[in-house]
Amino acid sequence: MKPATRIILIGAPVAIAVSAILGIGGEEEIPLADRPREARKTAAPVQNPLASGTASERQALEARIAKMPAGLADPAKKEIAAQLVSSAEHSTLNWRGRYGSIEDLGDGRGYTAGIIGFCSGTNDMLQLVEAYTADHPDNGLARYLPALRKVDGSDSHEGLDPGFTDAWAAEAAKPPFRAAQDAARDRIYFDPAVRLAKMDGLGTLGQFIYYDAMLLHGPGLARDGFYGIRQEAMRKARTAAEGGAEKRYLNAFLDESRSAMRARTGPARRDTSRIDTAQRVFLRNGNTRLTPPLQWRMYGEAFRIPAS
C-alpha cells in the first residue's frame, strides 16, 4: 500500500432519479444529453441533476440510454476501469486480490477495506454489510452492524476492535461477499457515474473519469463532491451533450477535480497522480475509447495494460 494520503474514497449514495436530456453528440455516437466522508458546509449546494423529471421522462431517458453503446459498461472496458482504480488504490492491477484488504489509513475515515476502499466512517461500508446481511444473515460481519452504525461518520473503532478486521478478511474469502462488494460498487458509484456521463455525451474515457471522480469525491452536492465538481466544470466548458468539445470539457472537469483534491489539508490532501499521469495522459493522447495498450504512472510507479 502507498501512503495513506492517497487512498481516500469519499462517498455515500444520494437519491438517484433521472431527468430528460435531449440531443446527440460525443464519442462512439453516444446521444446527447456526498454525502462526503467528512461533514462539509457550503453556502450554495448544487442540485443533483439526476433528481428530477417525471416518471414518463425517466422512462424515456432510460430507454434512450439502453440504446447507447455500452462504453465503460462493456465487460472488457469495465475490467480496465477496475485495474486503473486498483493501481491508484492498491498499487496493483490485481483488483480481485483486494477483497480482503482492510486497514486504518489514519485519514479520519476509520477502516478502509475491499476492492474500492469501503470505509467504516463514510456509510458505504455500512450499506455493504447491511445488504450482505439481508441476504446472508449468519455471516461473520453481521454482529458488527450495531457498531458500524454507531461509528458511521467518524474514525472510531468502538465496537469493531479487536475482531472486525479478521472477520472481514475471513468473509472476503467467500464468493457471496465478494459478489456483494461488486454489487455495492456498481450501485453506489459505477452505474450512476456511467449513466450521467452518457447523458453528458461522454465516451468511454469520459465515463471512466466520472466514475473515478465519484469514487474520489463521493456523489455529493457540495462544491467538493462529484456533482459540485461537475457543475463547476460546466460553468467553464460545455459538455458534448450541449454541443461542446468533449476534450475541452473533460480537461475542465479534471481541473476542478484536481483543485478539490489539492484544497484539502493534512491526511486528506491527495497525490494527484491518477489525474496528472494517468487520465490526463489518455486524454492528451486522444484515447477516448480507452483502447489498450495503456501505459500510465501512479505515484511514480509504471503500469501497463497490453493490447488484447
**What SS3 class is residue 281?**
helix
| Sign of the alpha-carbon torsion through 54, 23, 76, 207 | negative
Which of 20, 28, 2 lies closest to 287 in space, CA to CA? 28
Peptide bond into 137 cis (omega under 30): no
User: Is residue 158 annotated as part of the catalytic site, yes or no?
Assistant: no
**What SS3 class is residue 165?**
helix
Catalytic member of 27, 89, 124, 200: 89
Counting Cβ atoms within 10 Å, is residue 251 exposed (0-12), middle (13-18) or buried (19+)? middle
Catalytic member of 27, 34, 104, 107: 107
Spatial CB neighbours of 274, under 8 Å, sequence gap ≥ 6:
84, 88, 212, 216, 298
279/276 Cα distance (integer angstroms): 7
C-alpha cell read off for 204 = 468511454
User: Is residue 89 annotated as part of the catalytic site, yes or no?
Assistant: yes
Catalytic residues: 89, 107
